[in-house]
Structure formats: structure tokens, C-alpha cells
């Protein structure tokens, strides 16, 4: 599941089309071949995430600031991995605290939470413990 607040961002992600030079620069070779196809008919400078991968992802409009008071997920939904990077910059510490506390509701004791490199949550919450830089597990 992939989420964002912004409809344009979600549409871009659903479409999965990126400049070839950027993809080749960012994505390691084995994943590149498995994950992306090169455009045809004048679109050779573009790559698209393969349909087999895109169809496994559900894209959802979620406002992280409302996670605490909006029921986005059924209670049985649990994620093995939550990647929440480069978004906390928009929020004040109390909201970040609410967000990471809400992540607990969709986590098990084995779930990993990954934040951006500069987005430490250690001083904001004591409900997650740091296991590696930017990687957390429930306390
Ligand atoms: C700097 S980008 C980071 C995108 C991506 N996570 C990454 O690391 O490349 C921040 C994203 O947060 C989204 N965003 C901003 N406020 C949000 C909110 N309240 N809830 C969910 N997403 C939000 C923006 O639309 C934008 O796509």
C-alpha cells in the first residue's frame, strides 16, 4: 500500500512513469530489469514500473495528520514494514507523536518503521525504539 495526501502525487505514482536517466541512476540493476520497462514509439527516454508490480500496490489518499481520528484501516490490518520518509518536516512534534503512535495500531512486535535519515523520532516518542539509524521497532 502506498499513500500520499496529494491527488497529483498519487496519480503520478499510479502511472509509474519516470525519466530513464533518473531510474537508471537510482535503481540497482537487478531491480531495474525486473521492475521497469523502457518506453516505445518516441518514449524511449522514459521507463515505467511494470504492470505486474503496479497491480500489486493499492494507492490511497491518507492524511497522516488525521491518522489518529480517522479510521483508514480495519483493525486486523497489520504491516510488516512502514516506510514514512521526508514527511515529518510538515508537522509539529505533537502531530508526529500522534502519527507514530497510530502506526502502532497497524503494527506487530516484528514490524519495522523506517523514517528519513534526518527525521529522528527518538525524542518525540517512547513507543518505538531505534534498532539502526532511521529504523525502529515497537518498544
Ligand atoms: C518531500 S515529499 C517525500 C515523498 C516520499 N516520501 C519520499 O521520501 O520521496 C513529502 C510528501 O508528503 C506529502 N504530504 C504532505 N502533507 C501530508 C499529509 N498531511 N499526509 C500525507 N502526506 C502528506 C506531500 O504531498 C509529498 O508528496
What does the pLDDT look like over 72-129, one tens digit per residue? 999 999 999 999 999 999 999 999 999 999 999 999 999 999 999 999 998 899 999 9
Confidence check: pLDDT of 57 > 90: yes
Domains belonging to the chain, first-starting first, are 2-54 (no CATH), 62-138 (3.40.50.150)
Three-class SS string for the chain? CEEECCHHHHHHHHHCEEEHHHHHHHCCHHHHHHHEEECCCCCCCEEEECHHHHCCCCEEECCHHHCCCCCCCCCCCCEEEEEECCCHHHCCHHHHHHHHHHHHHCEEEEEEEEECCCCCCCCCCCCEEEEECCEEEEC
Question: Is pTM beyond 0.85 here?
Answer: yes
Closest residue by CA, ligand 1 atom 11 = 87
**Contact residues of ligand 1, CB 6 A cut-off:** 4-6, 9, 62-65, 85-87, 90
Relative to the CA of 65, which ligand 1 atom is closest?
Answer: 19
> Ligand 1 center to residue 87 CA distance, Å?
5
Looking at residue 23, its pLDDT comes to 97
Amino acid at each position: 500500500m502506498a499513500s500520499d495526501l496529494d491527488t497529483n502525487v498519487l496519480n503520478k505514482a499510479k502511472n509509474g512513469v519516470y525519466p530513464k536517466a533518473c531510474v537508471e541512476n537510482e535503481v540497482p540493476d537487478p531491480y531495474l530489469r525486473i521492475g521497469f520497462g523502457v518506453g516505445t514509439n518516441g518514449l524511449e527516454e522514459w521507463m515505467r514500473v511494470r504492470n505486474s508490480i503496479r497491480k500489486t500496490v493499492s494507492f490511497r489518499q491518507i492524511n497522516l495528520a488525521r491518522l489518529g481520528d480517522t479510521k483508514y484501516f480495519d483493525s486486523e490490518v497489520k504491516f510488516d514494514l512502514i516506510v514514512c520518509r521526508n514527511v515529518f518536516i510538515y508537522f509539529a512534534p505533537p502531530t508526529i507523536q500522534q502519527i507514530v503512535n497510530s502506526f502502532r495500531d497497524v503494527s506487530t512486535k516484528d514490524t519495522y518503521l523506517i523514517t528519513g535519515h534526518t527525521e529522528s523520532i527518538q525524542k518525540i516518542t517512547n513507543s518505538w525504539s531505534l534498532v539502526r539509524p532511521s529504523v525502529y521497532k515497537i518498544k
